[in-house]
């Protein structure tokens, strides 16, 4: 019988063996964790199997932005070249998607590095014309490390109608988008006016409808900002359907208290 390798033994595989094993493990991860998490873990898995050095943090962040943009584009939340994403790469600068490119077709090297005054630090493509809005968020919210601006069809319909998403209907939305999703008064895209109109809401909110424009979601990291974006659009779709059926039923005060308690309680096995 073939003995098991020692715990710290180096696993040596030929390239084709490593590729085959990585493929099988990825399929298993997709079954256990879902396809998105499997795709996220795949590069690290391949490096571990082939003995390649760890991916540098800056390269990993660029790859994650490109993957997030592709996912949002595939979901139909960023039509054409519309929408933009950014991450705070360091206290002194950010990475932002470039102007004029379809988000599903970007490469990591296409991302543009800007300092917190809006000066371009990397050669190549121009930054998204909405970079002022991103800088405005980071300047007010030190806890925010990612900003996602999209044009989700149903959420944008509420923005165009001037209707905020401010009623407690879905538990997930209450927890992720609280206290509510306001409609920010119209400011021309890419303008300082848009930044000025957004500023009063930034301290206490993490998701916004931009009147006659689209949506913005913030996060402590990119995954949270993307999750809020998806939840925002899902909430808008559900509300629209519920109102066509006669109106939504609201969660009660007792329901909301229970949700907040569940959110703040430690897991049972940690008590």
- In a shared domain, residues 125 and 29: no
Is 267 within the bounds of a domain? no
Count of all residues that appear for the chain in the document: 271
pLDDT for 174-198, tens place per residue?
Answer: 999 988 999 999 999 999 999 999 9
Is 249's pLDDT higher than 90?
yes
Question: Do 73 and 146 share a domain, yes or no?
Answer: yes
Number of domains the chain is built from:
2
Flag whether pLDDT at 67 surpasses 80: yes
Residue 270: per-residue pLDDT = 44
Check whether 46 has a pLDDT greater than 90: no
CA-based angle 221:64:196, to the nearest 5?
A: 50
- Find, among 239, 77, 78, 221, the residue nearest to 158 by Cα: 239
Q: Are residues 141 and 187 in the same domain?
A: yes
Residue 208 lies in a domain: yes
- Tell me: do 102 and 230 sit in the same domain: yes
Does residue 7 register a pLDDT over 50?
no
Instruction: Identify which has the larger pLDDT, 267 or 102.
Output: 102
> What pLDDT is recorded for position 4?
44
| 1: in domain | no
In the predicted structure, residue 203 carries a pLDDT above the cut 50: yes
Given 89, 130, 224, 233, the catalytic residue: 130
Mean pLDDT value across residues 15-24? 72
Whether 45 is in a domain gets the answer yes
Q: What is the largest CA-CA distance in the chain?
A: 73
- What local confidence, expressed as pLDDT, does residue 146 receive? 98
Looking at residue 156, its pLDDT comes to 98
4 within some domain = no
Q: Which residue has the higher pLDDT, 68 or 13?
A: 68
Q: Is 67 helix (H, G, I), strand (E, B) or coil?
A: helix
**Do 39 and 110 share a domain, yes or no?**
no
Statement to judge: residues 149 and 34 lie in one domain: no
Looking up residue 226, the CATH number of its domain turns out to be 3.40.225.10
Indicate if 130 belongs to the active site.
yes
- Among residues 131, 158, 145, which one has the least CA distance to residue 232? 158
Q: Is the same domain home to 142 and 192?
A: yes
Banded model confidence at residue 224, pLDDT cuts 50, 70, 90: very high
Q: Are residues 101 and 145 in the same domain?
A: yes
- Write down the pTM of the prediction: 0.79
Q: Place 260 in a pLDDT band, splitting at 50, 70 and 90.
A: confident
**Distance between CA atoms of 135 and 87, rounded to whole angstroms?**
10
Question: Does the pLDDT at position 148 exceed 80?
Answer: yes
Whether residues 37 and 115 fall in one domain: no
Specify whether 225 is located in the same domain as 250: yes
Domain that holds residue 45: 15-50
Which of residues 28, 50, 72 is at a domain's end?
Answer: 50
Does 269 reside within a domain? no
């Amino acid at each position: 019988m073939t003995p098991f390798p020692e715990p710290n033994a180096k696993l040596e595989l030929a390239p084709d063996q490593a590729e085959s094993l990585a493929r099988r493990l990825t399929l298993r991860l997709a079954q256990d964790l879902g396809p998105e998490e499997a795709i996220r873990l795949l590069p690290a898995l391949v490096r571990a199997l082939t003995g390649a050095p760890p991916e540098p943090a800056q390269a990993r962040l660029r790859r994650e932005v490109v993957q997030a943009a592709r996912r949002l584009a595939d979901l139909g939340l960023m039509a054409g070249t519309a929408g933009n994403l950014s991450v705070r790469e360091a206290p002194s600068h950010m990475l932002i998607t470039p102007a004029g490119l379809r988000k599903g077709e970007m490469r990591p090297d296409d991302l543009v590095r800007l300092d917190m005054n809006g000066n371009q630090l990397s050669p190549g493509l121009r930054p998204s014309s909405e970079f002022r809005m991103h800088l405005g968020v980071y300047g007010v919210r030190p806890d925010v490390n990612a900003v996602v601006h999209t044009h989700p069809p149903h959420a944008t319909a509420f923005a165009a109608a001037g209707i905020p998403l401010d009623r407690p209907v879905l538990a997930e939305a209450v927890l992720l988008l609280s206290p509510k999703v306001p409609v920010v008064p119209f400011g021309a895209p890419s303008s300082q006016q848009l930044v000025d109109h957004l500023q009063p809401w930034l301290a206490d909110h993490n998701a916004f409808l931009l009147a006659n424009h689209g949506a913005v979601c913030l996060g402590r990291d990119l995954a949270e900002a993307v999750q809020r974006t998806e939840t925002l659009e899902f909430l808008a779709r559900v509300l629209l359907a519920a109102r066509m059926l006669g109106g939504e039923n609201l969660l009660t005060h007792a329901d909301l208290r229970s949700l907040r308690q569940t959110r703040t309680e430690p897991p049972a096995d940690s008590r």
